[in-house]
Structure 1
Amino acid sequence: MPPRQKAAPAAPLGGCVIALSGRFNTKYGHSHASLEQLVRSLGATTTRTVGSGLVTHLVCTEHDYNEAASKVKAAQQLRAPLVQPEWVFACEERQTAVPAAAFLWEPTPGAGAGETKKRSVAADSDSGGGAERGRSPPAKKAKKSRAEEDGGEGGGDDAAAAEDSGKEMVAEGQFIRKKDAAIPLDDFCSLTTCQVYIEPETGMIYDASLNLSSTSTNHNKFYRLQVLHDASAGTFKTWTRWGRVGEAGQNAILGDGSLAAAVNNFEKKFRAKSGLAWSRRGDDAKAGKYAFVERSYDPDSDDEHDSGSGPGPTAPDGKGRQDEQQGAACTLEEPVRQLMELIFNQNYLEATMTSLNYDAGKLPLGKLSKTTITRGFQQLKDLAALLDDPGLAASRWGTTAAEAREQLSDAYYSVIPHAFGRRQPPVISSDGLLRRELELLESL
């Protein structure tokens, strides 16, 4: 009798549909995309929309839990468990389904409204474990103090650090974080009375930037998508614009005025161009398809909000104190002064960026997010390894060194858009070209 074959072990998170909320890189060493990839490697399906009703678990940071972020609120309404990221890592380490109840966020008994505690595994072992729906936090919690964030077990995450330092975070990925924030319209949009639609329930921003570059076919093109809402008319439209990077291109307005049609057109166009569903936009780009370029909606600095457009301070007697607004005379020695002027010369910086084929004034995709820049660094890291060891082309990518360099260059230019004009994008095939691109990303 032949020996009985052992059944393949079940995936630790098989059957789960998991959404993420928060910034995980500071405490957990993961970006949003890399944590999603880990979750999928454990057999779960990931989604970035909680309001669909399919979510079985929301993995969130302590900050998002305490602040009752939009996805936390949506998960509460669905009575989906709000779980700490440690649950995912425990499942990965043990390669088995660890009860989510051991890692639920919940209020500390008798503590203040904004304080949380982590359930111990031992406590849940006594209670039988298992993922329990309905263990949801109060709808709104007071923000923890800076001392508590720094001294607590969690240590805070990037979002908490940004808020505590006074920086204004408009959005995290495609989800709005700042209430009443307006997402910029496409620069060439003719529907100037509209605003970019933000889904009220989840905070999803319906604004997509896509890019496709090919060094062999001289493709270097973009595709822009936005769902727009005209509040005065009560209508919704899908705005699209496409063309070569650095040019205005062509545009079209789609839809019959209803929200359903606008969102359907948006998601249909996104899938047609990228080969991915909108809910899977964080996945790796498909060969020959457009790459999703995640933008940053945050201002560069606080000065952007009051960049000299208003009058200066006014004294109680009504006389403007213009003399107090004048800069003090420089007392630095001449060589030091010249060096400072060079370092902070914005025109010089912009000219340098343009020489690297990155002209922010010509790019249709706006400021790039940290996630996008990190993806660009990864492509350059792979190129550096290939230039150092051409044998990786066959062992890792199953092709020749020349074809691998071309593929990686295409992927890099698709993620980090460059304005080459009508010139063909160059293959990054030397250390000199690689260093130029590294300098560009470091400057971003």
Structure 2
Amino acid sequence: MPPRKKAETADTGPQTTRTVRSSARLASQPVAVAANSDATIGAVASSKSKAKAKAPPKSKPTSNITQLANKARPKRAKADTDDGDDGPESKKLKTATVDEEEDAMDLDTQDNEKDKEADEKDDRKMVTVLQRGAAPVDHLSGLVASHLVYTSDGEVWDATLNQTDLSKNANKFYVLQLLHPIGNNSSCVLFTRWGRVGETGASQRKGPFPATTAISEFKKQFKSKTATNWESRRSMVSAKSGKYMWIERSFGDDEEEQAKAEGSGEAKEEIKIPEPTLDPDLQIFCKLIFNSEILSYALSEMNYDANKLPLGKLAKSTILSGFAALKELSEVISQPNSTGDRGFSNFRAACEELTSRYYSIIPHAFGRSRPPPITSLEALKKELDLVDALGDMGFASKLIADSAPRDAHGNVINPLDAQFRSLQLTSMAAIDKSSSEFATLQAYARDTHGATHGFNAQIECAFRVDRQEEAKTWNASPACSKLRDGDRLLLWHGSRSTNFAGILKQGLRVAPPEAPVTGYMFGKGVYFADMMSKSANYCHSYLSGNVGVLLLCEVAVNPWLELTDARYDADQEAKRANKLATKGVGRTQPINWKDAGEALGHDGLKGCLMPNGKSVDVNPPGAYLQYNEYIVYDTAQIRTRYLLMVRMD
């Protein structure tokens, strides 16, 4: 990790105020220490590589994964205040043109030529935030090395606020922190920073104050910006008109860090990191799924601003609030003529207002472009994918940030070893590439590559996987205890590589009640396919050097409800019909099946079926889908059996 710049000293005069305005640009990227990278997974993504339904785009692999992250970051416009009066009320910014600048820049959607030239030369690096204490000190405060975020009576005096108003092209953040010198919490500085989301903005330090006075100043400023008392912040559902929304962050795991931080603040001697003990294939896999640059790329592609809401600090309530905001949007999009009943003048106004609420909860960086309203189910689905992925990515981000982890005995271990252990798998073992088991997996992938999917796929690594929790829930499930041979299928599931730390740790999950049903073709469930290439399209492998991750899961699906077209309430219909799953019937299907246990030499899969040979066009009447889909609504019906790293070119 590169050395940090020397921190500025704290203000020492009574109630002094310091304001800093910066035109520096920040990319939207996870606030985390970069993970080890490897030539196997490094890649440069082509500027033409955008997600397409038919095939993963091509990008030429390289040996330097840093280039991948540099390509990923969208161009940022010159930083503007976005809110000229957002300095603390007790001390406005003494810049004559602040208000005019904010008004102009809120409406301006173009970069001048100098900004464009500077952006082209801008070689951004990962922002690394040091966390000591209950919350990370803002990395632009100048106090990272010398101060901590103040805590008292269980309160962490740190607040992240966000406000988006599409009608005004406003998309801005506001950060408040009380900071005290390490080893002395009797006085605090009130630090604030504000600006347009995705940019540095302006900052101010006020104080120092006695701790009680500092708390009073913090509360006053919080209420000024939100029109809500600090004590009532958790009851906020949406921002009040013209005010900011408070975004809850997770501080639940930081008590130990706070205790460690309350020391002298002296530099510690360098810790020697031992070599990893993992099998080489497992090392490659961990470097793929625990990689901060790939995380940065993925988030940047989805316009999420992790500088304002770091992944590792995402509260579950924030994710659920994001789902709830999208659910309200989905109801308007699905019933555009009902906007009057909801208090909106028209469909466009409803979408703009509800999109503003959503962006206020889940920060998005659009540069100085006007934030786009969400007006279609396609756009809604993209945002559902983002919110759904944030929890999985947050888990990976936390582990990446620990550069010198220790085992239960206090011994330093290699980060790759620690990251793999954190998954708490019963087992994950590489399969010999010369074995018949590996050859059978290759044949399954090859034979279920759809003719409409124009990319090449080659299995690079394959692992047998056993998750203890899945075995427990499967054995305890009444439905799974009654299964006959043939009721279980070995099916594909694909997802972004950045999601797999969370998937392996927590298992595949069904969207929560807060999520809208209209974003899911056959209701809220876990989706599988009997065609490898169909699942591969959900891997977004262009984000990770054209290497995607696929699961093969044993899934209890029979008896199933057969449908030939989308039905958002299929989960309820399947339940009423006493079916274990829904099968979306495709025009192209496998017609022959075989025992997976016998074919793979896997005793645990005996009685489970997998396709035997290539799929054929059967064209059942009314079939809307090209390929079959299988959806289960109870995760107890899923057992992860294999994980494959697949190169897709």
What TM-score, normalized to structure 1? 0.49
Higher relative contact order (CA 8 A, sep 6+): 2
Higher strand share: 2
TM-score where L is the length of structure 2: 0.34
